Amino acid sequence: MPRRPVQKLKRSAVKLGPFELEHPAVLAPMAGITDSPFRRLMRRLGSPIVISELVSANGIEHGGEKTIALLRFHEEERPVGIQIFSEDTSLLCKAAQKIEKLGADFVDLNLGCPVPKVVKRGAGSALCRDPIALGKLLTELVNSVQIPVTIKIRTGWDATSRNALECVRAATDAGVRWVAIHGRTRAQGYSGEADWDFISEIKAKSSIPIIGNGDLATPEMALDRLKSSGVDAVMVGRAALRNPFFFEQVHALWRHENYLLPSAERYLEILKTQRLLFEEAYSPRTAMLQMRKFLAWFSAGYPGCHDFRRKVFSMTDFEALWQDALLFFETQVRDRDLRFMAQPFLMGGHG
């Protein structure tokens, strides 16, 4: 990974709503990924706040076991936000109240999900199509709880309706504490590139904190984008699935220090910690399935990753796979050439 010096940035803590962050890069919410054990790991590895995956407010109302399980968090995660989605304002308010009661530090509304199942109901990114109606919804949501309400949006529905600025204004009037913007339209899904010029333009015209998001592949790039766009913070999703040390590396650069690449020993220690965190939270079977997914992501791009990935999803003896995995990472991390980290990766998701 290139380690050129970043341009001078202020070193002070970063204010985001009521929270003071040690540095300005935060982990993005990701469905099936940012569960409580992974959020704990990422807090330990330097993400200054964490957010759950999107949770259905309708599901919370019905009280299904699986949905309620998604609301659980560990004290170690604080500040932690729970992200919700629905097309129904009253269900969103009830869900936010439940989340407040559970003690979460903030509630985040998903307004960026492009998935047909979600937008067809009028939830996710569909709610941004009408900023006036959105403003009313957000006002009710903000008034329904004491904890901060934040939102995550895209730049617009499609190339002809990039109305993120109107959405940010509606959010500002409603009392939303920050807006995270994934720099693609709903129509783009994950194709093309995040439009950081547009994010920058919105930031310049906004009076509440803006978090820029999209395609930040390396810690250096994250801080370069932060500086060039003027956003208050950046949000990083997929890159943290290839490089779990992303946030502590940003923190080092933020302090004007060069970061050391993790040693093989440290890499293995983190894998073992992650396995323990999964085992603490889940049944042995679920813990193993989660760990398999992460082994595949963490290995993506390393030489031999295709063969290793095949093993990850085909070996039935998990302990044997685990020994292979430790060996794979020990070898790869020792002899690495990390230029591949800047390549596109995992092109799909809920925001």
Ligand X SMILES: Cc1cc2nc3c(=O)[nH]c(=O)nc-3n(C[C@H](O)[C@H](O)[C@H](O)COP(=O)(O)O)c2cc1C
- 351 touches ligand X by CB under 6 A: yes
| Least CB distance to ligand X at residue 245 (A) | 15
| Least CB distance to ligand X at residue 213 (A) | 5
State phi, psi for 30 to the nearest 5 degrees.
Answer: -145, 125
State which of positions 144-183 bind ligand X (CB under 6 A).
152, 182
What's the distance, Cα to Cα, between the start and end of the chain in Å?
Answer: 27
Among 56, 89, 125, 213, which residue sits at the site for ligand X (rule: CB under 6 A)? 213
Task: Evaluate whether 183 touches 199 at the Cβ level (below 8 Å).
Answer: yes
Task: Evaluate whether 321 touches 315 at the Cβ level (below 8 Å).
Answer: yes
Which range binds ligand X by CB under 6 A, 56-64, 260-268, 278-286, 342-350? Answer: 342-350
Residue 25 or 142: the one with the smaller Cβ distance to ligand X is 25
Among 1, 14, 50, 54, which residue sits at the site for ligand X (rule: CB under 6 A)? 54
Residue 38 or 329: the one with the smaller Cβ distance to ligand X is 38
Q: How many residues does the chain have?
A: 351
Query: What distance in Å separates the CA atoms of residue 185 and residue 120, rounded to the nearest whole number?
Result: 16
Respond yes or no on whether the N-terminal peptide bond of residue 131 is cis (omega within 30° of 0).
no
- 236 touches ligand X by CB under 6 A: yes
- 341 touches ligand X by CB under 6 A: no
- 112 touches ligand X by CB under 6 A: yes
| H helix or E strand, kind and range, residue 311 | helix 305-314
Residue 210 or 322: the one with the smaller Cβ distance to ligand X is 210
- 215 touches ligand X by CB under 6 A: yes
- 216 touches ligand X by CB under 6 A: yes
- Sequence letter at residue 313: F
- Total site size for ligand X, rule CB under 6 A: 24
Among 214, 219, 244, 301, which residue sits at the site for ligand X (rule: CB under 6 A)? 214
Query: What distance in Å separates the CA atoms of residue 211 and residue 15, rounded to the nearest whole number?
Result: 12
* C-beta atoms surrounding 54 within 10 Å: 29
- 29 touches ligand X by CB under 6 A: yes
Residue 236 or 287: the one with the smaller Cβ distance to ligand X is 236
Residues 6+ apart with CB under 8 A from 200: 212, 228, 229, 230, 231
Residue 126 or 322: the one with the smaller Cβ distance to ligand X is 126
| Least CB distance to ligand X at residue 39 (A) | 13
- Burial label for 166, CB within 10 Å (0-12, 13-18, 19+), is middle
- 110 touches ligand X by CB under 6 A: yes
- 95 touches ligand X by CB under 6 A: no
Among 98, 169, 186, 238, which residue sits at the site for ligand X (rule: CB under 6 A)? 238
Of all residues in this chain, which one has the CB nearest to ligand X in the complex?
351
Nearest to 203 by CA among 239, 247, 172: 172
- 59 touches ligand X by CB under 6 A: no
Nearest to 185 by CA among 151, 210, 212, 162: 162
Query: What distance in Å separates the CA atoms of residue 148 and residue 269, rounded to the nearest whole number?
Result: 35
Does 93 participate in catalysis according to the annotation?
Answer: no
Of 93, 113, 128, 167, the active-site residue reads 113
- 290 touches ligand X by CB under 6 A: no
Query: What distance in Å separates the CA atoms of residue 322 and residue 255, rounded to the nearest whole number?
Result: 36
| H helix or E strand, kind and range, residue 277 | helix 264-281
Kindly list the residues in this chain that would bind ligand X in the complex (CB under 6 A).
28-31, 33, 53-54, 83, 110, 112, 152, 182, 213-216, 236-239, 346, 349-351
Active site residues: 113
